[in-house]
Amino acid sequence: MEPAIIVKNLTKIFTRKDRTTAAVDHISFEVEKGEIFGIIGLSGAGKSTLVRCLNLLEKPTEGEVIINGKNLLQLSPRELRLERRDIGMIFQSFNLLMQRNVLDNVCFPLEIAGVGRAQAKARAMELLKTVGLEEKASSYPALLSGGQKQRVAIARVLASDPKVLLCDEATSALDPQNTKAILSLLKDINQKFGITIVMITHEMAVVQEICDRVLVLENGQVAESGPVTEIFHAPKSEAAKRLLVKTGAPILRMTAGRTVRVTFEEGSAYEPIIGNVILKFGMPVNILFADMKNINGLGVGHMILSLPENPEIADAMIAYFMEKGLGVEDWAEEDEQNV
């Protein structure tokens, strides 16, 4: 089966006065049909430019964007407008029409497509029920919470029956409770309608909550990509490591001993691994950082540990962790400096 999205050698260069910047620099990737695909990076990594290139709101300097088997750069303006009906987009700022009530906001794309008023209202009410807001049909956006506004935006974009949904920082303006609710709604929509979803975000927690695979961006280039679980357990790039250990997190820097990152899943979380290893070897282990995540419904965690200076003891502790089914990788001093 052909992928829903194929991106080949995509580049977007901005020129301002005598300065040129490659916001997106020769990026290639594919997104399978029905997949929830994450694109993550810190501010300035090129995420928003990349997502706008996917529906040609930004015209790439070079490369190819093939969606549902059609190369968007080869389409006429009219053909591109028609094709964009199959490519929905959700924004951080909701982009609702403030002078229209909730029902009329959802009806808007149907009106543009020439659907009759009665049919449009019936379809809009179905979609409001899907997002859990049918009782707010006559309310205006100014009276809604952030989470409710985003639900209206989702219902509105679903009115066009898109095959691909691009979410540009769709949860960044929401509190944690609403973020979780919107992510759950997007996952339900993905499963119910089979819509391919691309999540653009700077939050690893968003990717870990619902994405199947993730592409890590840094300075407009692909730092690494792969299944979310694989990148969580064994990140290869410095960019992924920085995102896994949140910027500003309280991590202690230590120059003595060997520093490692240990990953574990729910089953091993109930065993006092650190206490056992200290008792077994009679040497202290310092926990520099620890966190638990939810990755596609599975609880996983990681810790950054400072092991004893004695290399034989440190190696034996690592062997013990691995024997217990934990993942272990060295965590260099420069990794600590990046968080």
pLDDT above 70 (res 192):
yes
Say what the pLDDT of residue 324 is: 86
Mean of the per-residue pLDDT values for the chain? 88
Tell me the average pLDDT across 140-153.
93
- What confidence tens digit (pLDDT) does each residue in 75-120 have? 999 999 989 989 999 988 888 999 999 999 999 999 988 899 999 9
Q: What is the pLDDT of residue 331?
A: 80
- Gap between the Cα atoms of 337 and 127, Å rounded: 47
Token pair for residue 219? 């300075």
Full DSSP string of 101-160: -HHHHHHHHHHHTT--HHHHHHHHHHHHHHTT-GGGTT--GGGS-HHHHHHHHHHHHHTT
Extended beta strands in 228-317, E state: 258-265, 286-295, 298-307
Q: What is the pLDDT of residue 229?
A: 87
Find the range with the poorest average confidence among 171-175, 215-219, 244-248: 244-248
pLDDT of residue 337: 44
Map out the domains of the chain with their CATH numbers. Answer: 5-241 (3.40.50.300), 245-337 (3.30.70.260)
Q: At 253, is the pLDDT very low, low, confident or very high (cuts 50, 70, 90)?
A: low
Among residues of the chain, what percentage have pLDDT more than 90? 55
Q: For residue 188, give every residue at least 6 positions away whose Cβ sits within 8 Å of its Cβ, in sequence order, or none.
A: none
Distance (Å, rounded) from C-alpha 69 to C-alpha 46? 25
Name the pLDDT band for 190 (thresholds 50, 70, 90): very high
239 pLDDT exceeds 80?
yes
pLDDT at 211 over 70: yes
More confidently predicted of 251 and 80 = 80
pLDDT value for 188 = 94
Helix (H) or strand (E) holding 174: none
Would the pLDDT of 74 be above 80? Answer: yes
Mean pLDDT along residues 33-62: 92
pLDDT category at 247 given cuts 50, 70, 90 is: very low
Greater confidence (328 vs 298) lies with 328
pLDDT at residue 268, as a whole number: 55
pTM above threshold 0.85: no
Antiparallel, parallel or unpaired: β 36-40 and 213-218: parallel
pLDDT at position 219 is 92
